[in-house]
Amino acid sequence: MAEKACDIYGREFQLKVDAEHKATELKICNVSKPHMRAFHTSWFGFFSSFFSTFAAAPLMAYIRKGTSVGLSKSEIGTSGLMAVLFTIFFRLAMGVICDKFGARKGLSILLLCASPAVLGMMAVPACTEADPINGGCVDKSGASAFIACRAIIGTSLATFVACQTWCAQQFSKNVVGVANATAAGWGNLGGGVTNLTMPLIFLGMLSASQGYDNPQDRAWRLCYIVPFLFHIVSGLAALTARDLPDGNFSELESSGAKQKSRADIVVKVGFSNVNAWVLTLTYGMCFGIELTMNNIAALYFMDYHGLSPGVAGAFASAFGMMNLFARSLGGILSDVCNKKWGLRGRLWSTWIIQTLEGFLCVLMGSLTLALKSPDDPDMLATTITGHTLIGGTWTPMPDWAEGGKITMCSTIPVATDAALREHLNLPASAIQIQVTTPPSSVIPGGDDCISSQGLGGLCLFSMIIFSLFVQMAEGLHYGVVPYVSRTALGVVSGMVGAGGNAGCVVSMSLFFKGQMRTDVGIFSMGWMIIGVTALMFFVYLPEHGGMLIPAGGLGSWDPQIIKPPSDYRGADQMDYAAAKTPAVEIKKEEAQVETSKA
């Protein structure tokens, strides 16, 4: 049996490694230090941040009620916007932290520091007086606290930068595409899992809250115990891993193998790279789009297609659940294209997949444009008697019950009490019912509503294909990022990651703050994706070339405007000859003995 390679301290690697001790293979079922422990704790930490940041989306049907926090459509949009806006700055900072102190510490500390805000969601003030004119609540303290907590929780999405930097430092370039893509994809999976599971967790909490005043309000607050526990467990788990293949930053710097990182150098080098800025913009059109869909999908399927919160959450989860394999598929495609055509192959595949993503987004939005939505001005001005479907019969809600009157084409979930269940002849187990607009045979014009057309399945199918290309484009991007700057890998990863959040901020601000119909926003967002993705043609590396230009095709021009000092090394570049550890000294002595014998 061949002897396993060891780090500079004599510890054996469980995976095959290259000359820099980076793994040349990916073994998913392995959790050993350093490579696979870093892989698994990084994606789980990122998963936890995704789960907590978007936990509010599938619960929004309850949170927005005037009997709970009381949120207007604009405030809902603002909360989603703020959940990703603050992360832009934290992702930029995380890039510097990764280069200076290590991705492991950055990921762990951010998760633990954001966890109090997760608990804070349980204490957001309830609305005491609903605003019947503008929507939401007359007292804005609850809305302000809710938005603030979502903003703080959202900062934990900067764990993505730590996740990608850490994996790039642990895995060789022959597998870095699939390693980065899989880790990030499984982290992004948190968005799908929270949409799928939070409505189910809510029903469990609602059942336990029977007998309390306003059980729906109590139930959604208790749901936040789950993401809080995720933060604590994943934050502590990351501390059990190792910064780099050979050890942690402090011990490697003490041994002499690692050069002490300088924040001023990595910031100047990273922010002066033209390629980094182009990828920052284009990444906003894939990861930013995923964040946007995580914010809007559950309410879209409930409000527009008349689905219950549980079913709407399950439909919305399909977008994020594609991360189970789609982002990895993008990473694999990137590595395959690199093997055949080099970096230029990685760039071409990224542009093609993301452009197709844009066209599929346009298609999804166009499916319902000709029908009436609950956001149409004439629908907002029309109040009707809400109905619920019982035993195949549309039954009107009593005026004294919550949801007795609704806006035309609208859908709301209603928590029942004993009196309402008796009135509607429902079993005691029916603790929640769905109130919606019935068809034209019951209410004139009902068939004109999107919710009456049965298009939910078709929109779900189109969204799944759309999501496949979104996730693949994300994986493809981070197959390119490690080539941009070895010196400032963390800063460049942070810039591109921040671009993802910036893309969400732009799309949420332009299309989903209540200024237009949701399906019109999706349609318009698709054309924006196609236009911005064309910037990929401007990416150029002198030693590799660009999409249309071969290596060296632009002469002496270098997209790296400010060059690092000639003797400066990246955070993961070791000088093994300078290392002074017992294991290294023994190897040096053995080498001297062999030389003298020869």
Per-residue pLDDT at 1: 41
| Shared-domain flag, residues 142 and 51 | yes
Task: Give the chain's domain count.
Answer: 2
**Is residue 382 situated within a structural domain?**
yes
**Is residue 573 situated within a structural domain?**
no
- Residue 201 is part of a domain; what is its CATH number? 1.20.1250.20
Q: Which domain holds residue 258?
A: 35-371+455-546
Cα 165 to Cα 374, 486, 532: the distances in Å are 44, 11, 25
**Is residue 303 situated within a structural domain?**
yes
Nearest to 293 by CA among 8, 2, 58, 132: 58
Measured distance CA(542)–CA(272) in Å, rounded = 16
Contact status, residue 55 vs residue 138, Cβ threshold 8 Å = no
Alpha-carbon Rg for the chain, nearest whole angstrom, is 26
**Is residue 562 situated within a structural domain?**
no
Contact status, residue 162 vs residue 94, Cβ threshold 8 Å = yes
| Shared-domain flag, residues 490 and 389 | no
| Shared-domain flag, residues 444 and 461 | no
**Is residue 396 situated within a structural domain?**
yes
**Is residue 588 situated within a structural domain?**
no
**Is residue 24 situated within a structural domain?**
no
Per-residue pLDDT at 188: 86
Contact status, residue 411 vs residue 385, Cβ threshold 8 Å = no
| Shared-domain flag, residues 483 and 392 | no
| Shared-domain flag, residues 231 and 98 | yes
Measured distance CA(452)–CA(73) in Å, rounded = 22
Domain stops at, among 546, 563, 593: 546
Structure tokens at 552: 């060296």
Per-residue pLDDT at 591: 61
**Is residue 519 situated within a structural domain?**
yes
Domain stops at, among 390, 418, 452: 452
| Shared-domain flag, residues 298 and 418 | no
Sign of CA dihedral 306, 310, 311, 317: positive
| Shared-domain flag, residues 207 and 131 | yes
Measured distance CA(9)–CA(14) in Å, rounded = 15
| Shared-domain flag, residues 114 and 213 | yes
Per-residue pLDDT at 590: 63
pTM above 0.85, yes or no: no
Nearest to 420 by CA among 432, 412, 411, 436: 432
Contact status, residue 498 vs residue 277, Cβ threshold 8 Å = no
| Shared-domain flag, residues 362 and 384 | no
| Shared-domain flag, residues 412 and 469 | no
Measured distance CA(179)–CA(173) in Å, rounded = 10
Per-residue pLDDT at 594: 59
Per-residue pLDDT of the chain (598 residues; tens, 9 = 90+): 456 789 889 999 999 999 999 999 999 999 999 999 999 999 999 999 999 999 998 999 899 988 899 998 889 989 988 988 888 999 889 988 998 899 999 999 999 999 999 999 999 999 988 887 777 898 999 999 999 999 999 999 999 889 989 998 999 988 887 888 889 889 988 988 999 999 999 999 999 988 888 899 999 999 999 999 999 999 999 999 999 999 999 999 988 988 888 888 989 999 999 999 999 999 999 999 999 999 899 999 999 999 988 899 999 999 989 988 898 899 889 989 999 999 999 999 999 999 999 999 999 999 999 999 999 998 888 999 999 989 889 999 998 888 889 999 999 898 888 899 999 999 988 988 999 999 999 999 999 999 989 999 999 999 999 999 999 999 899 889 989 998 888 889 889 989 999 999 999 999 998 889 999 999 999 999 999 999 999 999 999 999 999 999 999 999 999 999 988 888 888 888 888 887 766 666 666 655 555 5
By DSSP bridging, strand 405-407 and strand 432-436 are: unpaired
> Looking at 248-369, which runs of residues are DSSP E strands?
none
Domain stops at, among 387, 418, 452: 452
410 phi/psi in degrees, rounded to 5: -95, 170
408 DSSP 8-state letter: T
| Shared-domain flag, residues 471 and 446 | no
| Shared-domain flag, residues 215 and 231 | yes
